Amino acid sequence: MGNPTAAMLVIGDEILSGRTRDANMYLLAGELTKHGVDLAEVRIVSDDRAAIIAAVQALSAGFDHVFTSGGIGPTHDDITADCIAQAFGAHIDVRDDARALLAEHYAKTGKELNEARLRMARIPDGALLIDNPVSIAPGFTMENVHVMAGVPLVFQAMVASVLPTITGGQPMLSQTLRVLQGEGDIAPTLGALAEAYDDLSIGCYPFQQDGAFGANIVIRGTEGKRIDAAMTQLARELDQ
């Protein structure tokens, strides 16, 4: 049995326009690897209803878990919750449990729970709330889709809330060998090693630095001893 699979859906014009550099994908990828969940695909779509719904349906059907980031705030461009409801044919409205969380929070801080903020209590029927210790407005899990905020600090807190509820597999381990040899010179060795250790994933990531060619060779797998064996053989064959 392999590890459970996951996909991520990032919703946000600000990344597609080049205004913002994504941080959430990098964070989630690392957390899932530690948790033994294989992140197999990421999609980034704009704040567009049809694009969000189509992506949610495709990814929810194709993977064990889907994590979304962005579009659950109080402004007019926050349409994710309604799109998720539509993707699953679920009813959505302001829900009492989410409203109660917001009402308590805004009462404490002296801010008005206006119509815009109430949008953040729109949760599809049947969804479970995801705790948000940073700014209270919750995310939610609808079937296998975990819907989270785009603000990195809040996203990170929601990931920490939701990951313990997910059964992970074996954490993926990795070792890296950095060599100052051209990728073309080491390719035959790597190809043979990948065939001999077909239970491991062997990747080669070239770089150029101060005019010299080099590569980081990364060996990944779930069994530390197998990675040790492959890495020892590799280092010997490359005279490292």
β-strand pairing of 145-148 with 173-179? unpaired
The least CB distance from residue 197 to its own copies, in Å, is 12
The least CB distance from residue 32 to its own copies, in Å, is 7
Q: Which C-beta is closer to its own copies: that of 90 or that of 220?
A: 220
Torsions phi, psi for 223 (to 5 deg): -110, 110
The least CB distance from residue 36 to its own copies, in Å, is 12
Q: Which C-beta is closer to its own copies: that of 105 or that of 226?
A: 105
d(CA 58, CA 48): 16
The 3-state DSSP class for residue 50 equals: helix
The 3-state DSSP class for residue 89 equals: coil
The 3-state DSSP class for residue 17 equals: coil
The least CB distance from residue 129 to its own copies, in Å, is 19
Name the residues that contact its own copies, by CB under 8 A: 13-22, 25-33, 39-47, 51, 73-77, 111, 114-117, 119-120, 134-135, 150-151, 153, 172, 174, 182-188, 190-191, 194, 201-208, 218, 220
Q: Where would I find the H helices in the chain?
A: 13-16, 24-35, 49-62, 80-87, 96-109, 115-118, 152-162, 183-196, 224-237
Q: Which C-beta is closer to its own copies: that of 45 or that of 85?
A: 45
Query: Residues 42, 102: contact at Cβ < 8 Å?
Result: no
Q: Which C-beta is closer to its own copies: that of 81 or that of 190?
A: 190
Q: Which C-beta is closer to its own copies: that of 74 or that of 90?
A: 74
The least CB distance from residue 72 to its own copies, in Å, is 11
